[in-house]
Amino acid sequence: MSQTVKLAAGAAFPAITVPRLGGGEIAPAAMEGWRLLVVYRGKHCPLCKPYLGTLDKLLEEFEAAGVAVVAVSADPEEKAAADHAEFGWRFPLGFGLTIPQMQELGLYVSNPRSPQETDRPFSEPGLFLINPAGQVQLIDISNAPFARPDLAGIARGAKRIQEMNYPIRGTLV
């Protein structure tokens, strides 16, 4: 059994880059200001669609809090494009997240249960709120699709963190 390395709260967000649907790249560490990265399992996941739908509905709240939103998965471009065409999400969508990148983020990685599920290993859900200094302000990593943070609470929390100059929590070693 392999061990996932935990990304520490307050750590510099890793310099990962994935292709962006429609062209360009998504590089959360290189973005400016507050940003939220949501890592989803991929096209095969029936729980990801409503979760990302909720994220899309909350875009204005995140924008009002000054938080840029991006989502990424290990899916190839054609699967990401099919989901985007079907659901019309407005946030930037990245694809092609690699296993080493998943491991660098401390994500749990799963093999497909069958070829009908998907054709490649994929990451389980992860959410990272990154502050303007490029540090992980908030992190939520799950090993299953059933446990994910409430996105409305994350939007409210991101606003509150900024209003109160709230410190990064969970840093005591």
State residue 4's pLDDT score.
Answer: 60
**What's the sign of the alpha-carbon dihedral 150, 122, 92, 135?**
positive
Confidence grade of residue 172 (pLDDT, cut at 50, 70, 90): confident
- Give the pLDDT confidence of 77-132 residue by residue, as tens digits: 999 999 999 999 999 999 999 999 999 999 999 987 877 777 789 999 999 999 99
Is 3.40.50.300 the CATH number for 31-164?
Answer: no
pLDDT of residue 50: 97
103 close to 71: Cβ distance less than 8 angstroms: no
Q: State yes or no: pLDDT of 160 exceeds 90.
A: yes
Would you list the domain boundaries of the chain? Answer: 31-164
